[in-house]
Amino acid sequence: MSVVPEYRGPFGKQQAERLLWRAGFGGRAGEAEALTKLGMKHAVHALTRPAPYQLVGPAPHDERNRPLAPVDAFGHDHLAWLDRMVRTNAPMVERMTLVWHDWFATSNQGVASQQLMLNQVDMFRGNALGSFKDLLVNVTQDPAMLVWLNGNQNVKGKPNENYGREMMELFTLGANRGAYTEIDVREQARALTGWRGSVVNRQPTAFTFDATRHDATDKTIFGKTGNYAWQDSCQLCLDHPMHASYFVTKLWSYFIPTAPDPPTLEALTTLYAGNRVRPVVEAILAHPDFYDGPRMVKPPVVLNAGLLRMSKRYIDTSAWWSLSAQAGQQLFYPPDVGGWDDTRWLDTATFRARWIIAAIVQGADTPTDSPADPMRLTQRAIQFWGSPTVTATTQKLLESFARAQLKRNARPGDVETAVRRLVASSPDLQTA
Amino acid sequence: MSCYDCSRADLFRKAVAQAGRGLPEIEPGMPLPAGTGMTRREFVSRTAGLALAVYGGAALSGKALDYGIAQAASDAATTQKTLVTIFFNGGIDGLSVLFPAGDPRYYSLRPNLALAQTAGRPFTEDGRLRWHPGANGLATLHDEGKVSVIPAVGYDNSNQSHFTSRHYYEVGGTDASLRTGWLGRYLDHVGTQDNPLQGLTLDVAMHPSIATATVPVATLAAADQYTFAPGGGLPPHPLEASILQEAANIGAAHAKSGDAGLATAGKIAYDSHHLYYGLGAVRNGFNSPVGYPSSADPFPRRLAGLAAMLAAGLPVSVVGLTFGHFDTHAGQAGVLQRDLQLASDSLLAFQRDLEARGIADRVVTHVWSEFGRRAAENASGGTDHGSAGVGFLIGTKVKGQMLGSHPGVTSGLDASGNLKPTADFRAVYAALLEQWFGADSNAILPGVAGLARPALLK
């Protein structure tokens, strides 16, 4: 049996920083250094096998010191989740929750109930590193999903194909791989009939399986015939010989920007036995490509949470949801059922939003004891962000910028905050 | 609540614009959107007076591109022919846009969604059909002989994935591996290295139909609020301008990094700064001689801007836009009425605008969707994915006659209950390339040699 290759190189601060960003939301000061002491394998496990979930730090509030209202106030759903990303002791759980929010992308644009959206994401969180089967079965009967892809309107005699198609195309099997036919789409839709329920005035109403709406006759799916119900519909997808390769390739793409080589793919597929997520994630996070390959652009919400963590700030303004939206990612509002496009986060418009996010995290605080030495000043500005590794290229330019500004008699405090801004917007911090 | 130069309405509009963009996430086995991997940068064209995102043409400076645009504009200002391709996103229900009011089977397939036998305006070319009431603008232009309807356009063995079928239409063939758009390949044949405006997307990201392999193309988004001040009660940083300049320097230092992530982030920082300064010269204001529908959706304003650009003689050869949310699995009646009305009124206004500016003879507009919808309604007051759909060619030069007949819903359905195509989209593309642009379509579109070309123009 093939084994997934494992990274054998040095596990220093840079490797630990990449792990913290891709399997979470970056580290606070000293966190990366602490991880290096564990060695790569244990560092991965520290993230994927966390202690009981806790939120640490002050409770979130808006700019007028009022508590958040995630169910009722527009944008506060985003803020409440961002708060978890900042305060959790188990960042990998939140990061995987974000993966599932993208994988089973559901938008409140179509659901119109923040309560149902929050419930769905709670369900993802509860299964974050558990069983993909549980995720699929739960999401198939999830009220927000039933509304979003019309499963609540899929009725015996008049099937609605929307969910059944995307379940195969996006959630389990993939398009154009020869995994299913249009007939399978129709037959799946019939097997999935029976759910009802709706959102009335933002209130979820009567979500339930109604046997009188279910088509209880034979269906033929993937060449097998039976009186399939919705649970069978899920199981048939999971048992499909092309599911495992789809699953591991898609999961891989959230963590590593280059495609897995065929032996790796095969070994990961084997590791996915029993639809267990954690072993596959752990193998991906320990793979040589994870550490040796190119950097990935941080998703906007990951960057936002990370900048807050690095600068020891918490949620004390409601600015973040709108800024994150301008940067291309408002939680609970993915662009469509295909989710966000992880390859296209950066353009001139989203760069501007990222810049403003950094400016607001940084705030108006200006130190009064800034050193007049450009190198020490630069060092202090990097310390503001918890001393992340900065490339030599960037470091050199930051220092010469500081030198030039100080020579022009700019106030050292202003120069230091300027360098803070440049660190946060640098390609170094925008990627991991 | 504090909000940084946006309102809730703006955000919804942005979300809508992104949904409308609809570029698929790249999934295993799913075709990559055409144009993926093309280099992108921003520059401000003084000739155009606009900020442009340019894909390709990396070897040339902004100045050289500007010169190319000016040159092309002076060469071609009065003779430039333009093809506007408009994607109706989601698979519009052709059987509602032009509905078979004379067919009892339509009423049995659509007990709830069928339009009344007297609804809308009659379709003058085929007494069995009527226009959807939301399509009055198109009906008006059709009555004037300026619309050719393609009532059942598609291809054999239609793929019912949004992402895949759309990709086929974008690349001009049923080939998931093609990476350039059909109009992009046209530009690769006839375009130049120094005029990115030859292929223009009016959207937030490039329209894959005009993705090229060798020549540059441009994307233009509204850029009227491109400021880097944080707002929200924070004062601007005393060194703001220097910081932006230095961010660009740092970006430039990484733009050629061997690491793809650093290079991308570096390039964007550099481009953003370039755009920020260049935008000082941009005057977004333009006057339209006709009224456009007022809407939170950017579509009508983009068309108005396009008419102004074409009237100014800019050397624009092909243009891509996207509109709508036509994936009406549920609640179709309301959504279709609203969006079809807005699209149709906008297209009417655009045509009137071109006519008022005296440039209508230089422009053909082509409207398409990735597929039509199932003939039978579902139980959700909607329709599922189907096969053949409806398309349009609009302009003073188009013939104004149907391309292919309407197959009807009695004998015109396949075994799955989907409309059978009576026109192949590739034949329409080939005819457009040949008859509108005088191009050799066989060199541009794979496998069209054997397809009969419909006559498109007067």
Q: What does DSSP assign to residue B196?
A: G
Alpha carbon distance A66, A186 (integer Å): 50
Q: Which residue of A has its CA nearest to B261?
A: A295
The phi, psi pair for A293, rounded to 5°, reads: -80, 180
Is B261's CB within 8 Å of A427's CB? Answer: yes
Chain A residues near residue B249 by CB distance under 8 angstroms: 397, 401
Position B41 scores a pLDDT of: 62
More reliable by pLDDT, A299 or B18:
A299
DSSP B390-456: EEEEESTTB--S-SS----SSSSB-TTS-BPPSEEHHHHHHHIIIIIT---GGGTSTT-TTSPPPP-
Q: What pLDDT is stored for residue A357 in this prediction?
A: 95
Interface of B with A in 265-304 (CB under 8 A): 265-266, 268-269, 271-272, 275
Q: Does B453 touch chain A if contact means CB atoms closer than 8 Å?
A: no
Comparing B9-18, B146-155, B243-252, the range with the smallest average pLDDT is: B9-18
Lowest model confidence (mean pLDDT) among A75-89, A323-337, B74-88, B351-365: B74-88
Q: How far is B261 from chain A (nearest CA, A)?
A: 5
Answer whether A250 touches B (CB < 8 Å). yes
Q: How far does the CA of residue B389 sit from the closest CA of chain A (Å)? A: 17
User: Does A141 have pLDDT greater than 60?
Assistant: yes
Question: Widest CA span of chain A, in angstroms?
Answer: 83
Q: What is the DSSP letter of B134?
A: G
User: Which pLDDT band holds residue B15 (cuts at 50, 70, 90)?
Assistant: very low
Interface of A with B in 84-113 (CB under 8 A): 107, 109
pLDDT greater than 90 at residue B270: no
Mean pLDDT for B433-440 is 97
Taking CB atoms and an 8 Å limit, are B253 and A410 in contact across chains?
Answer: no
- Residue ranges of A 270-329 with Cβ closer than 8 A to chain B: 294-297, 317-319, 322-323, 325-326, 328
Least confident of A204-208, B21-25, B120-124, B363-367: B21-25
Residues 374-393 of B with CB under 8 A from A: 377-382, 384-385
Query: Given CB atoms, is A72 within the 8 Å cutoff of chain B?
Result: no
Please check the confidence at residue A110 and state whether its pLDDT lies above 80: yes
Question: Is the model's pLDDT at B25 over the cut of 50?
Answer: no
Q: Is A361 left (phi over 0), alpha (psi -120 to 50) or beta?
A: alpha
Q: What secondary structure letter does DSSP report for B331?
A: S
pLDDT bucket at B24, cuts 50 / 70 / 90: very low
| pLDDT confidence tier of residue B325, bands split at 50, 70 and 90 | confident
What are B321's two structure tokens? 């836009």
For the segment B244-269, the average pLDDT, to the nearest whole number, is 91
Mean pLDDT of chain A: 95
Helix or strand (DSSP H, E) at B175: none
Of A161, A356, A394, the CB nearest to B384: A161
pLDDT at B61: 62
Average pLDDT over residues B69-82: 71
Query: Are A170 and A337 in contact, with CB atoms under 8 Å apart?
Result: yes
What is the share, in percent, of chain A residues with pLDDT greater than 70? 99
Q: What is the DSSP code (8-state) at residue B318?
A: E
Q: Taking residues A97-105, what's their average pLDDT?
A: 98
Cβ-defined contact of A397 to B204 (cutoff 8 Å): no
Q: Which residues of B touch A335 (CB under 8 A)?
A: 15, 18-19, 21-22
Report which of residues A6 and B268 the model is more confident about.
A6
Structure tokens at A142: 């999830």
| pLDDT tens by residue, A181-199 | 999 999 999 999 999 998 8
**Best B41, B243, B245, B271 residue to mutate vs chain A (most A CBs within 10 Å):** B243
Closest residue in A to B376 (Cα) is A158
Tokens linked to B14: 């942005």
pLDDT at B11: 33
How many residues are given for chain A? 432
Q: What is the Cα–Cα distance from B287 to B202, expressed in whole angstroms?
A: 18
pLDDT at B34 over 90: no
B455 — pLDDT class (breaks 50, 70, 90): very high
Residue B360, classed as helix, strand or coil, is helix
* Closest CB from B4, B21, B253 relative to A356: B4
**pLDDT at res. B20:** 27
Q: Do B275 and A348 touch (CB under 8 A)?
A: yes
Residue B17 has pLDDT above 60, yes or no: no
Q: What angle, rounded to 10 degrees, do the helices at A40-48 and A13-22 form?
A: 20
User: For residue B93, what is the enclosing H or E element?
Assistant: none
- Residue B439 C-alpha, separation from nearest chain A C-alpha, in angstroms: 32
Nearest-CB residue to B260 (from A294, A318, A326): A294
Integer Cα distance of A113 and A247 in angstroms: 29
Distance from CA of A52 to the nearest CA of B (A): 34
pTM for this predicted structure:
0.68
Q: What is the DSSP secondary-structure string of B20-89?
A: HH-PPP--TTSPPPTTTT--EEEEEETTTTEEEEEES-TTS-HHHHHHHHHHHHHHHTTT--EEEEEEET
- pLDDT > 60? residue B407: yes
Q: Dump pLDDT digits (tens) for B126-155.
A: 999 999 999 999 999 999 999 999 999 999
Q: What is the pLDDT of residue A348?
A: 67
- Is A416 in the B-facing interface, judged by CB distances under 8 Å? no
Of B342 and B264, the structure prediction assigns the larger pLDDT to B342
* Token pair in block for residue A113: 């109930």
Q: What is the pLDDT of residue B106?
A: 97
**Which residues 178-207 of A have a C-beta within 8 angstroms of B?**
182, 185-186
Confidence of residue B438 (pLDDT cuts 50, 70, 90): very high
Mean pLDDT of B326-340: 94
pLDDT of residue A371: 96
Question: Cβ contact (<8 Å) for A397 and B249?
Answer: yes
| Amino acid B57: pLDDT | 59
Helix (H, G, I), strand (E, B) or coil at B111: coil
Which segment of A223-232, A355-364, A385-394, B279-288 scores lowest on mean pLDDT?
B279-288
Quick one: average pLDDT of B173-193?
90
CA B33 to chain centre: 14
Say yes or no to pLDDT of A402 above 90.
yes
Tokens describing residue B202: 């009016």
Q: Name residues 33-62 of chain B within 8 A of A (Cβ).
A: 36, 40, 42, 53
Q: What is the pLDDT of residue B23?
A: 28
Is the minimum CB–CB distance between A172 and chain B shorter than 8 Å? no
Q: Residue B6's pLDDT is what?
A: 23
Which range, of A236-240, B363-367, B446-450, averages the lowest pLDDT? B446-450
What mean pLDDT is predicted for residues A57-85?
94
- Give the C-alpha distances (Å, rounded to integers) separating B101 from A249, B126, B414, B422: 49, 11, 20, 19
pLDDT class for B371, splitting at 50, 70, 90? very high
What is the tens place of the pLDDT at every residue in A235-262?
999 999 999 999 999 999 999 999 999 9
Average pLDDT over residues A206-213: 95
ipTM of this complex: 0.93
Task: Please give the backbone phi and psi of residue A225, each rounded to the nearest 5 degrees, phi first.
Answer: -115, 140
Mean pLDDT of chain B: 83
CA neighbor of A15 nearest in space, from A295, A239, A240, A272: A295
Residues of B with CB below 8 A from A410's CB? 238-239
Give the mean pLDDT of B251-255.
92
Mean pLDDT of A171-186: 95
Contact call for A161 and B3, based on CB within 8 A = no
Instruction: Specify the pLDDT at position B60.
Output: 62
- Tens digit of pLDDT for each residue in B202-234? 876 678 899 888 887 777 765 344 567 777 778
Inter-chain residue contact A323 with B4, CB threshold 8 Å: yes
- CA–CA separation, A86 and B19 (whole Å): 28
